[in-house]
Amino acid sequence: MTTRIDVLLYDGFDELDAVGPFEVFENAARAGADCEVSLVTHETQERVTASHGLDVGVDGTLANPGDDDAPDVLVVPGGGWSAGEGGVRREYDSGELPEVIAAYHAAGTTIASVCTGAMLLERAGILGTGPAITHQSAVEDLRDAGVTVPNARVVDTGQIVSAGGVTSGIDLALHLTEREFGKDVAESVATTLEYEPRGTIRIARR
C-alpha cells in the first residue's frame, strides 16, 4: 500500500525545512519506495510565501484524518519562531494548526517536525515530556514547556520524529526513508543527493 506523505505549508515556513524532506521522499519514490509526497496547506490556498520570500505553489489541501487521501506521514516545517512574529510564532499563537496536528496524531499518523516546527507539536500537546529536538533558537522554549531536549540531530520516538535546525530535515527524511522503505533505498537517495547524513539519531520508542 502506498505511503502518503504530506508536507504542511503555511505562510512564513522556512524553505529548506520543507523542500529538503520533499526532495528526499521524491527521490525515494524514484528509487523504488512505494510513497507519494505532496505539498499541502490546511485551508485552500494556491500559493504560499516562505520566510525568505520564495513563492511556492501547492498540490492541494490537507485532507481530514480518516479520509482516503489522508497522509500516513505529516511533515511540519518550522520558520519564524525566533523572529517573534509570523510563521511558526503566528501559528502557535493562533492554535489552529496545532489542533490539526493533534487530530492527526490521535488518528495514528506519524508526525515529523523540522526545526521550530517542533513548537507547533508542543502547542498541540503531543510531545509530552519528550524527548524531542528543535532548532537551537527554540531549545530553551521547548525545555521550558517541560520537554526533554537531548543532544541529537534527529529524535525518533515512534509516532513522532523531530529534527533540529534547517538542514537536519534532510537527515530526518533519510531516517524515515530507511525506517519505512529500507536501508538500500535510503542509501540510494543519499548518493543521489550527494549528502552524507551526520549527527546523532536518538531512538526512544514509547
DSSP-derived pairing of the beta strands 201-203 and 154-156: parallel
Q: Is it the case that residue 72 has pLDDT exceeding 90?
A: yes
Q: What pLDDT digit, counting tens, does each position of 146-201 carry?
A: 999 999 999 999 999 999 998 999 999 999 999 999 999 999 999 999 999 988 88
Band (58; pLDDT cuts 50, 70, 90): very high
- pLDDT of 47 higher than 80: yes
Determine the Cα–Cα distance for residues 188 and 193; give it in Å rounded to an integer.
9
- Whole-number pLDDT of residue 205: 77
pLDDT at 206 over 80: no
pLDDT exceeds 90 at position 83: no
Give the predicted TM-score (pTM) of the model: 0.97
The residue-averaged pLDDT of 93-97 equals 96
Mean of pLDDT values over 18-29: 98
Beta bridge partners of 38: 6
What are 111-138's pLDDT values in tens digits? 999 999 999 999 999 999 999 999 999 9
Rounded mean pLDDT of the chain? 96
Question: Which domains does the chain possess?
Answer: 3-203 (3.40.50.880)
Query: What pLDDT shows up at residue 183?
Result: 97
DSSP for the chain?
-PEEEEEEE-TT--HHHHHHHHHHHHHHHHTT--EEEEEEESS--SEEE-TTS-EEE-SEEPPPTTSTT--SEEEE---STTTTSSHHHHHHHH-HHHHHHHHHHHTT-EEEEETTHHHHHHHHT--TT------GGGHHHHHHTT----S-SEEE-SSEEEE-STTHHHHHHHHHHHHHH-HHHHHHHHHHHT----S-EEE---
pLDDT score for 204: 85
> Closest by alpha carbon to 18, among 67, 64, 65, 52?
52
- Using alpha carbons only, what angle is made at residue 12 by residues 64 and 52, rounded to the nearest 5 degrees? 140
As to burial, measured by CB atoms within 10 angstroms (0-12 exposed, 13-18 middle, 19+ buried), residue 159 is: middle
The pLDDT of residue 82 is: 84
Which residues, other chains included, contact 202 with Cβ-Cβ below 8 Å and sequence gap of 6+? 131, 150, 152, 154, 155, 156
| pLDDT score of 16 | 97
Answer yes or no: are the C-beta atoms of 12 and 80 closer than 8 Å: yes
Confidence of residue 84 (pLDDT cuts 50, 70, 90): confident
